[in-house]
Structure 1
Amino acid sequence: MTLEDAADDASLVTELALRSPYPILPTPDEIERLEFQHSVVSQILGGRFLPAIGHFDIHTRLKILDCGSGSGTWASEIGFALPESTVTGFDIFDVPAKFKPANVDFVVADANDHPMPFADSTYDIIHSRFLFLGITNWLRYILELKRLVKPNTGEIHMIETTAPPLLVGDDDTSLLRELVDTSLGQANISIVVASKLGDYCRAAGLTVTHEKMYPFAYGDWPEDPEQSRIGGLMLSCTMEGVEKITRRFCETKGYDSKPYMAQLGAYLDQKRKPAGEIWYVVAKKMD
């Protein structure tokens, strides 16, 4: 799909999405992939909402901000679970949530635009997940979240993941590595932010109250049946996303995508036992 083809779908693709550094356009099939990804990641984390908090009282009244809502699944689900709370989600496109409760609203906004269109010290919970392909300055972004969260009682929940590295000197993936490194470098995007989330939060003057790493496999190579099952699901979801990113980068540069797509199989070859990490950090703004 070309950028022009995607732009014809006015229900999803906005001008903001087209100029964003985020490399995957919000087409209907991408929204489906994000919904699938949410389900798989929830299994890795052991919860669909915020595992560090656990159980919510249904009568809890919170103001919740969901950054980079994607398919809108997370915001909608927590909205259903907490009907007396208010949830605001935003993304660089019109979030097409299939089932949205009345207490959930979505707006179009860019996490890289500062200030973001939200009031100071407003939110009890800020949720930020898998934005590593879209944020160009992480410290600035976290400082903005610090502005938005309520002091002392509010919490910022950040969840990011890693991907298997494209190794220097690996002839089987050399073209792919050059394409990805060049494209992400030009967009000022770092894909190794996950393990640094806590450090960024501390540098922003936040107090980190929870920091945990969840390892997982990309594929069914683990001997443990449950890890193998989840790894197979994660591989399927990730491979589709990587294919879209590769095509988008090739389109942007005017390259023939075939030789680059041919190296994707080697990148996540099960003989290499590809693995990743999900980092989950909770931080607070203390007076």
Structure 2
Amino acid sequence: MGNKISKTSKKSTPLPSTNTQEDSDFRYIEGRRYHNGESVKYPLPNDDEVDRLHQQHFLLRYVWQRNFGAPVKHILNQDGTKVLDVGCGAGSWILEMASNYPNTQFTGLDISPIQPSEIKPKKVNFVIANVLDKLPFENDTFDYIFQRFLVSVIPKDSWPDVINELTRVLKPGGYLELVEINPIPFQLGPVTSLYFNAVEKILQLRDLDQQIPYKLRSYFEQHGNLENITEEKNRLPYGPETGKLGQAAIENSNLAFSHAKPFLLEAIKISSEEFDNNLDVSAKELNEFDSYHETCCVYARKKGNY
């Protein structure tokens, strides 16, 4: 299915937790709620994105056949281990990891308060914060930091600063893992190309870098305080041989198109009705043209010992 991977006891201290935002933090377009901050680049809404984000998590777990790549299983099984998930979204990754590793304390950080607040494991908490700001944690706080799919969040020139900040709050000997996707698939049909050409324009206008999956390793190498750097590549496929996986990926893609519709319409310059009708054509093309995204996972250890 085109998803083969290629490889080139501590004391627990509660972490800060907050999950509220003001109405002024949002704006509404055609009944959908979007972030309102000038520094927020994310083009998708934060109202009913939850289901799509859950689906995306399970797609990626199936494609990679795992939830993480860094060699941290032994750390996760120790009492008091602290893990940070940056850009946690709906909390899908954290909730599954917390079930698998009940001795670990998990903290999810996101700009949107869309995570579960009532029904969640005791050792899970969520912090509302912007990764582009200074993280609300002390130096050397976490044993493992995971971040996935922030290509549509972090501006091109901000990636080194974000990696610096993630490394700051990572303990010496701990692991940092970033997973990114090229948001523009390969092998596209004519109608689907219109949508993704619009996506590319939006990324450029917001100073976002679709090439970031291919730059992560060099950013890690340039940092100077990260070692044992490993890069792995994979594909998120849509084609006919992928069966239910491909169909779920197509559904996820079309949901993302629908959710970003106000911004895509500005770039495509077609009617709202034509936009909706073409989604069915795009779904067929993704399958027939055997389209796929490239994804990349890079992880490394922070220099020093526990």
The match for 1:245 is 260
Correspondence for 2:13: none
Q: SS at 2:84's partner residue?
A: strand
**Is residue 115–residue 126 contact of structure 2 (8 Å, CA) maintained in 1?**
no
Separation of aligned partners in 2, 1:5 and 1:52: 41
Partner SS state of residue 70, structure 1: coil
Q: Alpha-carbon deviation of 1:252? A: 9.8
User: Which deviates more from structure 2 when the two are superposed, residues 62-71 or residues 240-249?
Assistant: 240-249
Q: 1:148 aligns to what?
A: 169
Q: 1:235 Cα shift?
A: 1.8
More deviation, 86-95/263-272: 263-272
Q: Is the 8 A contact 2:86 2:148 kept in 1?
A: yes
For the 8 Å contact 1:69–1:95, the answer to whether it is kept is no
Matched, 1:83 2:102: yes
Matched, 1:20 2:35: no
C-alpha RMSD over aligned residues:
3.1
2:150 aligned residue: 131
CA deviation after TM superposition for structure 1 residue 282, in Å: 0.7
> Which residue number corresponds to residue 231 of structure 1?
246
CA-CA distance at 1:172 after TM superposition: 4.1
Deviations 1:202-249 (A, max 9, x none): 122222432111223124x22xxxx33322222221221133223344
Identical counterparts, % of pairs: 25
TM-score by length of 2: 0.76
Contact 1:112 1:135 (8 Å CA) reproduced: yes
Tell me which residue corresponds to 1:111: 131
Paired residues for 1:188-267 under 5 Å: 188-205=207-224, 206-219=226-239, 221-222=240-241, 227-250=242-265, 256-261=271-276, 264=279, 265-266=281-282
- Structure 1 residue aligned with 2:291: 274
Query: More relative contact order in 1 or in 2 (CA 8 Å, sep 6+)?
Result: 2
Q: Assess if the C-alpha contact under 8 Å between 1:159 and 1:280 holds in 2.
A: yes
User: Structure 1 residue 66: deviation in Å?
Assistant: 0.6
Distance 1:178 1:277 in 2: 17
Q: Secondary structure at the match of 1:124?
A: strand
Query: Which of 18, 25, 31 is equivalent to 1:5?
Result: 31
Question: Residues 37-60 of structure 1: CA distance to partner in whole angstroms, max 9, x if unpaired?
Answer: 11111111112x324437456444
SS of equivalent residue, structure 2 residue 127: strand
Contact 1:24 1:248 in 2 (8 A): no
Q: C-alpha deviations, 1:173-218, integer Å up to 9, x for none?
A: 5653553333222211122211222112112222243211122312
The answer to whether the Cα contact below 8 Å between 2:186 and 2:291 also exists between their aligned partners in 1 is no
Determine helix, strand or coil for the equivalent of 1:141: helix
State how far apart, in whole Å, the 2-side matches of 1:123 and 1:106 are.
15
Write the letter of the residue equivalent to 1:214. N
Runs of 5+ consecutive residues of structure 2 not aligned to the other structure = 1-26
Structure 1 gap ranges (5+): 8-12
- Residues 88-127 of structure 1: per-residue CA shift (max 9 Å, x gap): 11111113227411111101111122x1212112110001
CA distance in 1, matches of 2:235, 2:300: 21
The structure whose residues are more often strand, as a share, is: 2
* Corresponding letter in the other structure for 2:294: E
Structure-2 separation of matches of 1:88 and 1:194:
24
How far apart are the structure 2 equivalents of 1:6 and 1:148?
35
Q: Counterparts of 1:80 and 1:177 in 2: how far apart (Å)?
A: 36
Q: Which residue of 2 aligns with 1:157?
A: 177
Give the Å deviation of 1:62.
1.0
Distance 1:118 1:255, change over 3 A: farther
Q: How many matched pairs?
A: 271
Partner of 2:56: 37
Cα pair 1:65 1:126 within 8 Å, conserved:
yes
- SS state of the match for residue 279, structure 1? strand
Distance 1:246 1:74 in 2: 27
Q: Which of residues 117, 121, 134 is equivalent to 1:101?
A: 121
2:194–2:268 contact (8 Å) kept in structure 1: no
1:10 match: none
Question: SS where residue 171 of structure 2 aligns?
Answer: coil
Name 1:72's counterpart in structure 2. Answer: 91
What is the CA deviation profile of residues 10-42 of structure 1, one whole-angstrom value per residue up to 9, with x for unaligned ones? xxx7655x96211111213x1011111111111
Q: 1-side partners of 2:93 and 2:30: how far apart? A: 29
Tell me the TM-score normalized by structure 1: 0.81
- CA distance in 1 between counterparts of 2:246 and 2:52 reads 16
1:186 aligns with 205
